């Protein structure tokens, strides 16, 4: 084996990196355990404890703070640690009414009413439905008469036909949805959630928001559904505002001195890098004293502050400036402080403490009444920051309040349009903004005042500063160009922000699922239990079947899991229950390479070769099959990642990383261990007495009986297709919607499992989740097709009756504290996405096989087998939907189908590889290809069965112990693996024979 030194070095390096990454999770878990012991069940006290040590070192060796460690720990998804999942619907009806200036025309409003009804069942977009209904009600009506206004004269004319108006409305609808997404995304960033997931579902005009760890429903609802507030402010300059900051600092220092207390707050680094916006003119300093003090603060920040005493001294002298660095950037030519609307900088971890200081009554008393301090929305880049803490810095701006109400100089409702463009001369991205006549007049007055001194005007959305460009000259006519150090994405975001105050299209919560800590803990416990048991089952089987060689596989698998977890954490991947399933499945798949190697080594030993030569040849001959099968499976994972969403993406990430680490451990780590044991003279055996002759002389007539296999699969698929078109599937709530009830049980010990058992029979498969500390959310699709009051009453009473049969769960109508209807959130979009994903997977993998095997028959065989497996699983789920309770079609099922495709391809490629070997190397042209192929199948039968068994063992453990969350997912995989193993032998190979008789000869 060549390159042993390089492999050893890389393995040791990777182990150290993974150990480092995993260590953060250990540290955070230890701190949280300490907090739990301290709080004794009081969640408020526990949170206060964690907040108090957020900036204190908790990593003994490296000195990292708790916040830093928390940002680098293994992130858990919504289903593992609890939180909220909210689906928001952009109200396009409100948008259309706004664009029509609330037109009272009866036909117009009747068309909107009908579009509202049609949108619940139709797959067409809302604008198309509205135009269709309007034309049906008024065939000769012109929509331009309703929508052509002074504000949109550049887009619509009174003479435009309905098609032009429809195109304009669709464009505005897309803009409104994108605006809402931008606003919500920004609000979520400010919420401070670790690893939030905000997805734009364009086909449904919906936004999916997942907030792991958040259990404050009312706060989230208020945050997400609040109206966007766009404002324009004049700003103070940094030199003007420094006097106020200095007064605050002096006040706090005097207070500390009077109390004779020491502070140990973290010193924020003074800015020496990025300035604010481009400087057009330098304003004279307010005082030499301010400049002198700024210089003193800057020099103090640059001194060595390694000792606690030094930190305490600086914190006592500069209590504000140790958290907030004043904007001290000198002009190299004049030596003066450069004018900027940015008055200071603070690390993200310090912004909350700065805010707390600014809210103190005594601090408010020294601040000018016309000053309002706001943070920039995005962190700034700091290439000079080489400290261990790489936390980003945020800019602080000082707004200049005006008018009798002490507010902004202008609000966003005057903006009629905003576009991201490129300067035709400079080629730099910029934003163009248009205002209505009233706004244009006020904008002229504001810019006339700011232009002489090139003051800045801040663009603020929801109290976050998006930009603060300087005014070069007075702007008349309401047309403005905003230039700066922008990227193309920056200008797109800013244009969306500017339009956010113009088109009010509220986003309403249509689906909300709150997962409490209890369910999260249950999911974690079930996932860990199934993982450990699945791991143990695979390891015991490998040792029992392959003897000491099996022990080597066990060591390789353990190392593989260690590397997999380390890489996942380093990539900031979020672990969900499908991700846990992906890890467990990786355990089963990772032994496949070892099985291939061991089976080839056993063949070499049977030829009389020495153990050293047999091991070397085993690795050599198995390499092609291992690479082909794993690359094809990796391609499936890549397709999953590109075209999937949410949990599917998480599963794909784990799958791809697992394949990479499995290859490294199986091909390189295992080889190193083998050679070390051979060098030490250890006796290595590849079987136990009972397993030494398993499948050794197998000679089953797979090829001869291929038409029987064709018949079985054909009948099953035809029956399944008929079932699909007649009785369909059991779709999950996310496909068809449902009714959600929040129930507060009198019995505080009621569990979700108990509720499941009580309601599943009368109501069918339902979603049951904890809601806060003492409530449970129940979502059922029972009678979902009936959208009437009587149906609502019937479902409610059925729920009460079902729960009443069990004394533990008995409730009355008063226990149901909330009811709402949940719309289908991802129905058609996910269906279409899944269909195209499967199709693309088939095409790409078939192309890869064609490239590797150079015969279209192999590619066709893989294509047929892949489609066969997908149809077989779908047929099974349709045919038996009324007999097996958990055969639901949901996101997890889509992930399972795609995983089955990957597994099937993996299995098929291994069989194909042995067929190619037998046809090309071991047999003459006079041999019958059918016999050669049948012999090749039997030769690899041992590996096929052993690999299938290891995966099935894992899936059975998952199915039994994995809990309700992944039961349907694991069962779909169980069925799929059986069909995939069957198709690789009985379907894919016969296709090669029947379509390649001449070529094979």
The residues spanned by each domain of the chain are 4-73, 86-216+507-511, 232-499, 516-680+698-726+829-1000, 738-822
How distant, in Å, are the alpha carbons of 247, 341, 373, 399, 471 from that of 370? 16, 15, 10, 8, 21
C-alpha 958 chain-centroid distance:
24
CA-to-CA distance for 893 and 895, rounded, in angstroms? 5
Same fold yes or no, 516-680+698-726+829-1000 and 738-822: no
Q: Give the pLDDT score at 204.
A: 63
Burial class from Cβ neighbours inside 10 Å (0-12, 13-18, 19+) for residue 26 reads middle
Q: Give the pLDDT score at 292.
A: 52
Question: Which of 542, 545, 679, 687 has its CA nearest to residue 612?
Answer: 679
Q: Give the pLDDT score at 269.
A: 35
CA-to-CA distance for 132 and 443, rounded, in angstroms? 40
C-alpha 438 chain-centroid distance:
43
**Cα within 13 Å of Cα(222), Cβ side:** 5
| pLDDT tens figures, 31-75 | 888 888 888 877 678 777 877 787 788 888 888 888 788 878 887
- Which secondary structure element, helix H or strand E, spans residue 778, and what is its range? strand 775-780
CA-to-CA distance for 861 and 863, rounded, in angstroms? 5
As a dihedral over the C-alpha atoms of residue 298, residue 301, residue 303, residue 304, rounded to 10 degrees, the angle is -170
Question: Which of 654, 533, 630 has its CA nearest to residue 582?
Answer: 654
Q: Give the pLDDT score at 879.
A: 93
Count Cβ atoms below 10 Å from residue 37 Cβ, excluding itself: 10
End-to-end CA distance of the chain: 37
Helices (H), 472-576: 488-499, 517-570
Question: Which of 254, 243, 267 has its CA nearest to residue 343?
Answer: 243
75 beta partners? 574
Question: Which of 464, 475, 476 has its CA nearest to residue 500?
Answer: 464
- pTM attached to this predicted model: 0.62
Residues 6+ apart with CB under 8 A from 379: 348, 392, 393, 394
Q: Give the pLDDT score at 648.
A: 66
The 3-state secondary structure of 218-244, one letter per residue: HHHHHHHHCCCCEEEEEECCHHHHHHH
- Torsional class of 489: left (φ above 0), alpha (ψ -120 to 50), beta (otherwise): alpha
CA-to-CA distance for 933 and 910, rounded, in angstroms? 13
CA-to-CA distance for 979 and 986, rounded, in angstroms? 10
Q: What is the mean pLDDT of each run of 10 residues along the chain (1001 residues)?
A: 81 92 89 86 75 79 81 75 76 84 86 84 78 89 83 78 88 82 70 65 71 68 69 89 89 78 38 35 38 51 47 72 82 70 87 86 89 87 44 87 84 82 81 87 89 88 85 85 78 74 64 55 64 80 89 90 90 73 72 86 88 91 84 80 67 86 91 91 86 81 91 95 90 72 84 80 76 73 79 88 88 82 54 69 81 84 88 92 78 72 80 82 64 86 85 82 70 88 90 74 55
Token code pair at residue 341? 């609307």
Question: Which of 89, 92, 66, 72 has its CA nearest to residue 23?
Answer: 72
> CA geometry: angle at 291 spanning 288 and 295, to 5°?
140
CA-to-CA distance for 285 and 240, rounded, in angstroms? 8
Count Cβ atoms below 10 Å from residue 571 Cβ, excluding itself: 11
**Cα within 13 Å of Cα(396), Cβ side:** 26
- Torsional class of 104: left (φ above 0), alpha (ψ -120 to 50), beta (otherwise): alpha
Quickly tell me which residue has 């609802």 as its tokens. Answer: 221
DSSP line for 805-857? TSTTT---GGGEEEEEEE--SSHHHHHHHHHHHHHHHHHHHHHHHHHHH--HH
| Fold observed for domain 738-822 | Alpha-Beta Plaits (3.30.70)
CA-to-CA distance for 291 and 608, rounded, in angstroms? 88
Parallel, antiparallel, or unpaired: how do β-strands 479-482 and 429-435 relate? antiparallel
Superfamily of segment(s) 516-680+698-726+829-1000: Multidrug efflux transporter AcrB transmembrane domain (1.20.1640.10)
């Amino acid at each position: 084996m060549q390159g042993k030194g390089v492999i050893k070095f890389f393995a040791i390096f990777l182990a150290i990196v993974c150990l480092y990454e995993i260590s953060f999770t250990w540290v955070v878990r230890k701190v949280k355990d300490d907090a739990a012991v301290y709080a004794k069940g009081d969640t408020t006290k526990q949170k206060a404890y964690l907040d108090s040590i957020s900036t204190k070192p908790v990593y003994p060796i490296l000195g990292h703070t708790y916040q830093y460690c928390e940002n680098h720990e293994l992130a858990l998804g919504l289903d593992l640690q609890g939180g909220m999942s909210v689906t928001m619907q952009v109200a396009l009806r409100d948008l259309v009414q706004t664009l029509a200036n609330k037109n009272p025309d009866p036909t117009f409003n009747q068309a909107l009413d009908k579009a509202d009804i049609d949108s619940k069942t139709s797959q067409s977009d809302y604008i198309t439905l509205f135009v269709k209904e309007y034309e049906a009600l008024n065939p000769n009506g012109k929509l331009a008469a309703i929508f052509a206004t002074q504000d949109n004269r550049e887009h619509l004319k009174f003479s435009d036909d309905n098609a032009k108006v429809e195109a304009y409305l669709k464009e505005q609808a897309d803009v409104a949805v994108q605006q809402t997404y931008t606003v919500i995304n920004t609000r979520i960033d400010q919420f401070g959630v670790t690893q939030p997931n905000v997805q734009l579902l364009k086909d449904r005009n919906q936004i999916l928001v997942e907030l792991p760890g958040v259990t404050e429903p009312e706060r989230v609802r208020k945050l997400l559904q609040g109206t966007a507030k766009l404002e324009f402010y004049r700003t103070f300059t940094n030199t003007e505002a420094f006097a106020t900051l200095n007064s605050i600092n002096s006040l706090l220092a005097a207070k500390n001195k009077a109390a004779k207390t020491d502070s140990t707050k973290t010193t924020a680094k003074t800015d020496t890098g990025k300035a604010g916006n481009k400087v057009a003119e330098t304003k004279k300093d307010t005082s030499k004293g301010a400049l002198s003090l700024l210089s003193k603060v800057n020099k103090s920040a640059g001194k060595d502050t390694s000792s606690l005493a030094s930190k305490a001294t600086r914190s006592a002298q500069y209590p504000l400036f140790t958290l907030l660095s004043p904007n001290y950037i000198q002009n190299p030519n004049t030596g003066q402080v450069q004018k900027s609307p940015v008055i200071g900088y603070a690390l993200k971890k310090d912004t909350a403490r700065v805010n707390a200081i600014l809210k103190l009554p005594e601090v408010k008393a020294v601040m000018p009444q016309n000053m309002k301090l706001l943070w920039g929305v995005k962190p700034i880049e700091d290439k000079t920051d080489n400290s261990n803490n790489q936390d980003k810095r945020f800019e602080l701006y000082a707004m200049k309040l005006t008018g009798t109400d002490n507010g902004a100089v202008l609000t966003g409702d005057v903006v009629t349009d905003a576009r991201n463009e490129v300067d035709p001369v400079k080629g730099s991205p910029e934003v163009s903004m248009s205002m209505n006549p009233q706004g244009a007049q006020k904008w002229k007055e504001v810019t006339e005042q700011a232009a002489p001194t090139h003051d800045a005007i801040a663009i603020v959305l929801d109290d976050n500063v998006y930009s603060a460009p300087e005014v070069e000259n007075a702007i008349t006519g309401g047309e403005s160009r905003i230039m700066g150090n922008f990227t193309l994405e920056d200008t797109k975001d800013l244009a969306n922000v500017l339009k956010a105050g113009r088109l009010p299209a509220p986003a309403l919560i249509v689906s909300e699922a709150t997962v409490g800590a209890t369910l999260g803990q249950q999911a974690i416990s079930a996932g860990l239990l199934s993982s450990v048991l699945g791991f143990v089952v695979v390891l015991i089987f490998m040792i029992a079947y392959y003897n000491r060689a099996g022990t080597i596989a066990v060591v390789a698998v353990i190392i593989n899991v260690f590397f997999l977890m380390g890489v996942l954490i380093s990539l900031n991947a979020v672990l969900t229950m499908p991700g846990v399933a992906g890890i467990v499945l990786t355990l089963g798949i990772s032994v496949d390479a070892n099985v291939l190697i061991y089976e080839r080594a056993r063949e070499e030993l049977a030829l009389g070769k020495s153990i050293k030569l047999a091991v070397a040849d085993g690795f050599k001959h198995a390499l092609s099959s291992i690479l082909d099968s794993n690359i094809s499976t990796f391609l499936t994972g890549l397709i999953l990642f590109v075209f999937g969403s949410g949990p599917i993406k998480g599963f794909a990430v784990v799958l791809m990383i697992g394949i990479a680490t499995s290859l490294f451990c199986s091909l390189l780590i295992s080889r190193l261990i083998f050679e070390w044991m051979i060098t030490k003279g250890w006796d290595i055996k590849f079987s136990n007495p009972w397993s030494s002759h398993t499948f050794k002389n197998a000679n089953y007539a797979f090829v001869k009986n291929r038409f029987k296999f064709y018949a079985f699969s054909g009948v099953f698929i035809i029956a399944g297709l008929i079932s699909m078109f007649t009785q369909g599937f059991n779709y999950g709530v996310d496909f068809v919607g449902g009714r959600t009830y929040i129930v507060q049980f009198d019995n505080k010990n009621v569990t979700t499992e108990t509720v499941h058992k009580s309601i599943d029979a009368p109501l069918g498969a339902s979603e049951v989740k904890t809601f806060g500390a003492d409530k449970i959310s129940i979502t059922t699709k029972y009678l979902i097709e009936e959208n009437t009051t009587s149906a609502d009453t019937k479902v409610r009473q059925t729920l009460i009756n079902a729960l009443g049969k069990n004394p533990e769960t008995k409730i009355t109508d008063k226990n149901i504290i909330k009811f709402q209807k949940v719309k289908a959130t991802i129905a058609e979009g996910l269906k279409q996405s899944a269909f195209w994903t499967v199709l693309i997977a088939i095409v790409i993998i078939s192309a890869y096989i064609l490239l590797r095997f150079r015969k279209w028959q192999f590619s066709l065989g893989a294509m047929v087998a892949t489609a066969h497996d997908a149809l077989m699983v779908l047929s099974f789920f349709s045919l038996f939907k009324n007999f097996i309770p958990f055969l639901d079609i949901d996101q997890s099922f889509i992930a399972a189908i795609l995983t089955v495709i990957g597994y099937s391809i993996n299995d098929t490629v291994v069989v194909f590889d042995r067929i190619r070997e037998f046809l090309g190397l071991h047999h003459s042209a006079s041999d019958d290809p059918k016999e050669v192929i049948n012999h090749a199948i039997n030769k690899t039968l041992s590996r096929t069965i052993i690999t299938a068994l290891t995966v099935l063992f894992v899936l059975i453990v998952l199915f039994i112990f994995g809990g309700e969350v992944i039961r349907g997912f694991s069962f779909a995989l169980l069925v799929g693996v059986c069909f995939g193993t069957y198709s690789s032998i009985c379907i894919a190979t016969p296709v090669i024979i029947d379509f390649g008789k001449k070529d094979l000869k």
